[in-house]
Amino acid sequence: MNFIDIVNKTKKSVPLTDSEIDYLVNSYVSGEILDYQMSAWLMAVCLNGLTEKETVALTFAMRDTGITLSFDLDCITADKHSTGGVGDKTTLIIAPIVAACGVAVPKMSGRGLGHTGGTIDKLESISGYRTEIPASEFFDIVKTTGFSVIAQSGKISPADKKIYSLRNATGTVDSIPLICASIMSKKLAMNADCLLLDVKWGSGAFMKTKEEAQKLADLMEKVGKSAGKKCRAVVTDMNEPLGNCIGNALEVRESVELLQGKIKGRLYDTCIELASDMLELAGMGTHDECVEMAENAVNSGKALDVFRQTVKLHGGNEKICDDVELLPKAKFSHVIYAPKDVEIVSINTEELGMASLILGAGRISKDDEIDNTAGIVLEFSVGEKISVDAPLMTLYSSVCSDFSESAMRAYNALKFRTLTSDVTTLT
């Protein structure tokens, strides 16, 4: 087998055999195939795609370059993956709900990059919370409380780590089969019994159209099922932030308040829907029974108890579950007010994510430091009417006291209708 034959086949859209894909992945990880050669193959995939069978083989080959976990638990395990977006704090809410209903959630998550946030950064805003712990401690926490979320380990799909950084450097990220293999190789290595895939679409998401998101969702579901998993992929809207808070500590605050039963609306509905999807996949009942179970877990305070215990076992300050004021707070803030009576028509969610990044909540490159107090709190939802001089949003930061750039981007991200004229954009 040699690399030139392989790249020529993909260049001409001739499907590769499973053993050619194994050879490609393993030889790249071992260093026999070099970065410039792999880049050429990745570009051929971006241009010509892969068949479903090739995508399954690529995913399995990447998974098998690292360890596959196994859980010695007397209950079903379920994992979820969200392709990420602005203000997406669903893991912090869904994992304790599902665990409180008797299904264990062992989960590895990533850090934020660009306009999207990462679950690990959010958890690390809880003082003391350790996201890098030995595997034995991770298993113990899952056994004790029902869920644990830790940072991605280099031992899980090491091929993905190497290929993903090459894709970032060579403009080959935006390929549905490559995204699918990247995500699914890590999820299959985690090896939970059930897998819920939440593919976001819209201005704040990776996939800009619903059609693209559906294609990725369908492919990921097929790959999951090929590996024998109970797997469901759903497509959800990210054309407005999920919830009112964007930024790490601010999103933990909102998640805790939801688990305290204080928040309803779109974030609550989305989380209950996703949690009940996971419970249904795990065989806990019909969809309606699972919705009721998930709502009871919040209303009874059981999900908050599970979250409290997990935070404590990770070394975090669990008192934040009773008093969100104990979360870190920004040194500086800036309120943006409505210039006239308006109705919010739409939000450019990606721009709002970028404004939050400028405030310090996100990273441009993966080694950047973040300010876990930074972010934005919205005072409205799309469709709401706001009176002149009422607050539209508050910006927070501890590292940036000059709000001019972030405020301009956040303000320009809103499209609104003045209550006396046609749709216009704030300037």
Task: List residues with catalytic annotation.
Answer: 81, 160, 167, 182, 186
Residue number with CB closer to ligand URA (207 or 410): 207
Q: Between 108 and 282, whose beta carbon lies closer to ligand URA?
A: 108
Least Å distance, CB 72 to ligand URA, is 27
Residue 427 CA to residue 421 CA, distance in Å, equals 15
| Rounded-to-integer distance, Cα 311 and Cα 125, Å | 11
Verify binding: residue 59, ligand URA, rule CB under 6 A: no
The total number of residues shown for the chain amounts to 427
182 binds ligand URA (CB under 6 A): yes
Least separation in angstroms between CB 223 and ligand URA = 13
Does position 217 interact with ligand URA (CB under 6 A)? The reply is no
Q: Which two tokens mark 57?
A: 């083989």
Cβ atoms of 413 and 357 within 8 Å: the answer is: no
Q: Does 348 bind ligand URA (CB under 6 A)?
A: no
Q: Does 157 bind ligand URA (CB under 6 A)?
A: no
CB of 277 vs ligand URA, minimal distance in Å: 20
Residue 47 beta carbon to ligand URA: minimum distance, rounded to whole angstroms? 17
Using CB under 6 A as the criterion, what x/- string covers residues 258-277 for binding ligand URA? --------------------
Would you count residue 82 as binding ligand URA (CB under 6 A)?
Answer: no
Q: Token pair of 101, please?
A: 């209903």
Of 175 and 255, CB closest to ligand URA: 175
**Sheet arrangement for strand 332-337:** 245-246, 375-378, 391-397, 332-337
Give helix then strand counts, H and E, for the chain.
16, 13
Radius of gyration of the chain (CA): 22
Stretch that binds ligand URA, among 58-66, 177-185, 274-282, 331-339 (CB under 6 A): 177-185
How many residues lie near ligand URA (CB under 6 A)?
6
Nearer to ligand URA, 139 or 164 (CB): 164
User: Does 294 engage in binding with ligand URA (CB under 6 A)?
Assistant: no
Question: Is 344:384 a contact under the CB 8 Å cutoff?
Answer: yes
- 197 is a contact residue toward ligand URA (CB under 6 A): no
Residue from 179, 282, 355, 393 touching ligand URA (CB under 6 A): that is: 179
The stretch near ligand URA (CB under 6 A) out of 62-70, 175-183, 370-378, 419-427 is 175-183
Q: Are 328 and 375 in contact (CB under 8 A)?
A: no
Other CB atoms within 10 Å distance of the CB of residue 155: 13
Q: How far apart are the C-alpha atoms of 340 and 328, rounded to whole Å?
A: 33
Decide: is 183 part of the binding site for ligand URA (CB under 6 A): yes
Instruction: Give the Cα separation of 144 and 155 in Å (integer).
Output: 24
Tell me the β-bridge partners of 246. 376
Which distant-in-sequence residues (6+ apart) come within 8 Å of 112 by Cβ? 118, 121, 361, 362, 363, 370
46 near ligand URA, judged by CB under 6 A? no
Mark out the alpha helices in 237-315 (DSSP H runs).
248-259, 266-281, 287-299, 302-313
331: number of Cβ within 10 Å = 12
Tokens of 279: 């419970």
Binding flag, residue 233, ligand URA (CB under 6 A):
no
Beta carbon of residue 383, minimum distance to ligand URA (angstroms, whole number): 30
Residue 48 CB, nearest approach to ligand URA (Å): 18
Q: Give the footprint of ligand URA on this chain (CB under 6 A).
A: 164, 173, 178-179, 182-183
